[in-house]
Amino acid sequence: MREDTRTRIQEVALRLFTEQGYEATSLREIAEELGVTKAALYYHFKTKDDIVASLVDLRVAEIEELVEWARTRPRTPETRRSLLERYAANLARPSHLEVTRFLERNQTALRAHPKLIKMREAMLALTAELSEPGATPVERISRSLALVALHAGKWMTAQDGLTEDEIAKASMEVARRLVDM
């Protein structure tokens, strides 16, 4: 049984946006791959931006949920390590990884997009939860980098002759050291 058109549009769009870039991917391209016309896309999504919005929604919700959880806990080393593990587990799901990669690669193109602004705010809030009020500049910067380390681990896949598993474990170890600094 075939999926509905809306879902197929999202899948093709996410793939092409990530591979070629958001602006470099035309609606005609997406439509042709699906065997429909541009106008058909406009029945399912109001604008091109709207396709992006639909992709980002779930991801933002999960990060905000993670922030909520962190706020119920004291800002201790234990909380920080738990937060890292929850974030990594979340990132490990293929659909989320794809969306995150897409967003990282298309920052400027999507700069003014309301959903993207929400996403950025959520990530900032998450970073804030990794530092206690009296943290030094070195601690703040080092902890911001912990999340970057987890992303970097995912992008590095199949490089340097390391296995995917080695990279995942190593980047988690680096992230852990960064929040413990």
Partner DNA sequence: GTCTATACACTGATAGAC
Partner DNA sequence: GTCTATCAGTGTATAGAC
Instruction: Give the interface with DNA as residue ranges (CB under 7 A).
Output: 4-5, 23, 25-29, 31, 35-40, 42-44, 46-49
- If the CB atoms of residues 42 and 155 are measured against DNA, the closer one turns out to be 42
Q: How far apart are CA 13 and CA 4, in angstroms?
A: 14
Specify the 3-state DSSP secondary structure of 151: helix
By a kind-dependent CB cut-off of 5 to 8 A, residue 173 interacts, out of DNA, a second copy, none, with a second copy
The CA-based diameter of the chain, rounded to the nearest angstrom, is 58
Per CB under 8 A, 126 contacts a second copy:
no
By a kind-dependent CB cut-off of 5 to 8 A, residue 97 interacts, out of a second copy, DNA, none, with none
Q: How far is the CB of 121 from a second copy (least distance, A)?
A: 13
Contacts 24+ apart (CB under 8 A), 70-73: 70/126, 70/129, 71/129
CB-based contact 26:110 (threshold 8 Å): no
Question: Per CB under 8 A, which region of 28-36, 38-46, 63-71, 99-107 contacts a second copy?
Answer: 99-107
Q: How far is the CB of 96 from DNA (least distance, A)?
A: 25
CB-based contact 56:99 (threshold 8 Å): yes
Per CB under 8 A, 169 contacts a second copy:
yes
- Residues in Cβ contact with 67 at an 8 Å cutoff, skipping those fewer than 6 apart: 122, 125, 126, 129
Q: How far is the CB of 11 from DNA (least distance, A)?
A: 14
Could you identify the residue written with the tokens 């681990």? Answer: 153
By CB under 8 A, name the binding residues for a second copy: 18, 20-24, 105-109, 111, 136-138, 140-142, 144-145, 148-149, 152-153, 156, 160, 162, 166-167, 169-171, 173-174, 177, 181
